[in-house]
Structure formats: structure tokens, C-alpha cells
Structure 1
Amino acid sequence: MKKRYPSYKPSGIEWISDIPIHWSVKRLKRLAKICNGQDQKDVAVPAGAYPIIGTGGEFGRTNHFLHIGPSVILGRKGTIDKPQYIESGKRFWTVDTAYYTVINPTTSPRYFYYCCLTINFEMYKYGSAVPSMTQEVLNQIPFAIPPFSEQKLLANYLDQKTRHINQTIRKKQQLIELLHEEKTAFINHAVTKGIDAGAPMKPSGVEWLGDVPAHWEKRKLKYIVDKIDQLTTNTEFVIAVENIESHTGRLVFDDTQKNYQGQLYAFEEGDILFNKLRPYLAKVHLAEKDGSMSGELLILRPKTGFNNLFVYYRILSYDFIQEVNSSTEGTK
């Protein structure tokens, strides 16, 4: 599989470049027929025999089906960049925000699926608020296609490779989860017990806090931070709750520009942003520069004499998150 082919020819498609001389370029419509999904409301039942497939995967069951696999599900609206493969013989229903495909007998279903994974959906989509794809556009997308027997060989090769990669990813994810747990435990211990194992301890008087170093003081949060409610119209750098990664505080932005219709509040470098609506998500961010944020977050500014980073880690700690989450009154 790693050997280069003896000769190539221009594909005529800039982003495909040259292809093996015995391959051809075919539009999607020559490989499969695209069919519209249908609304599931009248057929959905709690424990149906067949899955209801949307652009994000299965989200319901039904006793009716639109097609029998193999098929590739393509997004029509919403999540358009996640093709899904339906195994041979599997009956399914597809919602009206997705397409299902009837794959030609001369096309390897798995090879067709891998081709669909290469589509540059950003280049073909329309609509900014809700990304969408039309059948007309999808039908004209070109692919490099080998003979049928070679399609099957390539699909088998990719199945083996992706299976191995997916196994590696799962192992790495398990390791990451363990490291997150270790990090959480380390932070929680450091901000409640300190790092001097030999330090004398005393009861904190707070059940969930337990013993603390004897020279530490107990303070309520309202004596440590100020809650900031300064309105602003500045949208140069805006953080919303979905931009804060749980447990890490890392900021995550996508390429979608959001129009913020509600009120915005100004924060400064060193302020702590805390998700007040769903504290169990542990979305806490220590601002590295000035900006503005939506009303789903609290702005907490450490008072003079308190280290911003220490306060941030204290608020991010497991015990603090659990205590706030169990309170019916939120953060005080």
C-alpha cells in the first residue's frame, strides 16, 4: 500500500492534483444518490426497533425506517461536517436536517465514506448562523476514484489504520482523564492543606474543609473578592461561558463570529470569571487580558492582599465547586 504508482496524470482538480493513471475523477452524483431525510415527530417512539439518525448521530428510536444500509449520512443543516457511516443491513430513519445516500453498486460504500470525510465543507457551505449544504452542491463535489477492486483494498487498509489510531486515541483520553483527576486532587490539597506536609493543623470549623494549617485564616469569599458589574459595549474581545473549558480554564474559540445581543460586562486582567448558572461544569477562567463577557458569568476581582492565582485555584478546586453546586443560593 505504501508503494507509489508507476505513473500519474493530472486530475484537472487543483486540490486533488495528480492521480494514478488508471484512476478517474467522478462527481459525488456518479457514486451515490442523495435522498432527503424526513421529520421524525410522527414516528418517534421511546423503544423503537430502529435508530433515528440526525447530523450529530442517533438521538431517538422508531419502528419505521427510510432506508437500509450501507449508507453515508450527510448533514443538510447544522452539523454538516460529520459524515456518518451506516453498516450494511442496518435499517434507519434520517431526520429532515440530514441526507442519506443510496450508494451505487459499483462504488465501495466504505471508500465512499472515506471520500466524504475529505470534503472541505467550509468551502461549500452557505449560511452563517446555521451552516447548510444543498444536494446540488454536494452532487458536484469531485473525488479521485480507483477501480472497484482497489476501492475495497483501500477501504480495508483505512479501516485497519483508523481502528489502530482510534484505539490509541482512547488510551490517550483515558490517560488524560487520569491526569485531570490527579491535577484536581493536587489543586484541592494545595489550597486546603498547603504543601508543607509537616505543618501543624487545626480544625477549620467547616465540615467539608476539614483541618487546615494552623497559621491559616478562614475567610468567606465575599471578604476575598469583589463582584464586578460594570456594563460595557466593547466587543473587541468577548468571552462567553461556552468559551471556557471545564476544569482547565482554557479558552476555546471556533471560527464562528457570534453577535452578542445581551448585556456585556467589562473585566480586567487578573479577574476571575466563574460560571454562575451551572457551577458543576467547573468553568473558571483567570483573565490574561482585559475584555468583556456575557451575563452567564460572574466577574470576581481579588481584593488587595490576596494572590489572584491562589484565589483562582481555590475557586477551581473540587471542594469549592461541590459546595457552590449544592447551594441553592449560588456564589456568595
Structure 2
Amino acid sequence: MRDGQATLGEIVAFSNGKSHAGGNGTAYRTYGANGVIGASGHFNAQAHASIVGRVGSYCGAVHYSREPCWVTDNAIIATAKNGVNPRYIYYLLKRLDLNRFRIGSGQPLLTQAILSRLTVTRMTRAEQDSAAAVLAALDDKIATNERIAGLADELVRARYEEFAATATASARIDRLGSLVRSNTPAGRIGRDEHYVALEHMPKRHMWLTSWTDSSNVISAKRRFDPGDVLFGRLRPHFHKVGLAFVGGVASTDILVVRPNQRIHRGWLLAALSSDEVVAHASAVGDGTRMPRAGWPDLAAYEVPWPGDDRVRAFNQLTTSLAQRVGAATIENRTLAALRDTLLPALIPTPTA
């Protein structure tokens, strides 16, 4: 071991998660290989632990929990040893790109032994605190923006249910919006255009806050504009429906629905993202293992209609919230890019 270097095992205590928490309760988040997957009445990891994906396609993914949590046996618990900044450990593990140390081909795997042997640059506590403070400030702002988006989603759903409960009429979905049918060949898609696939769409969250570029697109896609509603038609029970803040191209496993009138956008978004419409799409989808919802089935579905005045007021609310969430989304991408740029400068790794 060179001077100025240490092994991860010297500064981090590793332990495997466990399969079942047992009992009931929702006091603690449950983490799997790639983040939160539910809740539990018990915890097996203390506050400020890092969670490392142990098996499968998310092997090496790293998450951080401010609070005590339950970690499943698909992940490894990483706890900072005495005198080590726990937030620094999280960023150090992110910096190491742990997926490259996996073993196995059919089922990738990381072990405590592999992690413990990895060599890192030794940093003083003051250096750890300084690096973690800068990176954590960026991540904390990102988390705040994400909470705003989550609260906006809850507010729109609650107001939709309130208006729907008092509606005395109904309207077909195709009265509110129309399907964008034309596909764009891969050769006519710019490499820097925004691309949305199903994996970029969060479950039961009506704001599309994630996308990538089109550099790897090799087949025709469906073009969408800002303000369009995207509906995940493949396995619709996953409840992937959201409003686009940017224009771009989407996977053909996604239906692009454009409001017929601007004042209908909010009601169209809330209706398509409602539990009732998603349940209907799941029930009528073609296929058993990989069901797909069709536009004709959605178009003919009738949703509550509270009247023009209430739909207009609802759209004003939704538009205002969408503008705030859209601005936060763009800010988060800037903050994340800055964090990723600073990470290797603030937390160096040994050179060969």
C-alpha cells in the first residue's frame, strides 16, 4: 500500500442487507439494489448509511439515507467508521464507479470482500468535511426541488379528485386530446435531441423530469412538443404518465397525446394520470406477458367533466405548478452536472 492510500475496509464497515423485515409498519424506508422500493416497520441500517446495489443490473448503484432504514439482501450496507464523514463515504463510493468491479456474467455480483479491498486516496477529516459539504449542498437543493415536484403532483391529483367527485357530466378522452401518430425515422433525429424512453418516466408521477440525448437512437421514434402528455403504453400498470417540459422524441412504447385546446391540458394530464384511466388501460391492453394499451381504448374512455369554468380554473392551477416544476427540473440538471464535474476534483482516486 502506497503512502497516502487506504483500503475501503479501513474506513467503511460493510454488511449485507436482509430479505424480510417482518412485522407491519411504514416508519422506515426500504432500499433495494437501486433505491427505495417500499417501507417497513423495522430498520437494519443506521442513519447516514450508504446503500450499494449487490446483485443484478443495478449492481454497484449507490444511495444515501439520512434516516434509519431497512436494506434488503439485494444490497450492501456501508457505514462510516469512527472519525470518518458518512456523507463523504457516499460520494467516495459514487466516485469509484463500483459496477466495474462486479463479478459474474449471468447475474452480476458485488461482495463485501471486493469492496473492502478497493484502494482509495486517504483524506483528512477536514478534507472529507469540505468535499462533502460542497457536494451535499448541491444534492440537498436537488432534493428540495424533487420534493416540490412531488407536492405539486399530490396537489393536482387531490384537486382533480375533488372536482371529479362533484362532476355531473363526462367526456371522452379524445375530446380533450389527440394522438400524435407520425413517426420520425432515426436518420432525421439529431444526436443532441431530447429522448424519452420508458425507463426515464417515473412511476405515478405526472412530471417528466428525466431524459437523455438521442445519440444512441437507431429506430423510428415519436416526436413530442413541450406541453404534450406522454402515456407509457407498454405494461401500463407501471403507471408511467407525465407532462413533457421539453420537446424531443419518444419511444414508440409511449403514446404522445396533445391537448385539443390549451385550457384542456391540465384536465387531460390529470385524467390520463389518474388511477382509473391507468387501471382501464391495464385491463384492456393486448398481450399477456407484455401488454400494450391502444389509443382507441383510451380515446373512448369517459372521464368526469366538471364543466368549462372548473376545467379552466383547474388548468390555471396546473399550469402554474407545471411552470414551477419545469424550472426546478432544468435547475436540477444544471446542479447535477456541476456536482458530477466537481466530484473527481474534490474526491481524488489513486493513479496507477
Larger Rg belongs to: 1
RCO comparison, higher one (Cα < 8 Å, 6+): 2
Q: Normalising to structure 1: TM-score of the pair?
A: 0.49
Q: Normalising to structure 2: TM-score of the pair?
A: 0.47
